Amino acid sequence: MSRRDLISTTFLPPRTVNYGLSRLKDLGLIEEQEHERDAREKVFELVSAPM
């Protein structure tokens, strides 16, 4: 899911979504990848949480 998709789905402000994504990346819960059609956009995916 892209940052733009998250903002439109959750109705959260962009700043809040950016903060949440950076925290989740720091915790290793999501991965950031390039969008397959638009290299300017990033796609975020959940990774399996360490047990």
Residue 49 has pLDDT above 70, yes or no: no
Task: Please give the average per-residue pLDDT across 27-50, as a whole number.
Answer: 87
Residue 25 has pLDDT above 90, yes or no: yes
Task: Please give the average per-residue pLDDT across 33-38, as a whole number.
Answer: 87
Domain ranges of the chain: 3-46
Give the span between the Cα atoms of 12 and 14, in whole angstroms: 6
* pLDDT recorded at residue 14: 96
pTM check: above 0.75: yes
* pLDDT recorded at residue 24: 94
43 phi, psi to nearest 5 deg: -120, 140
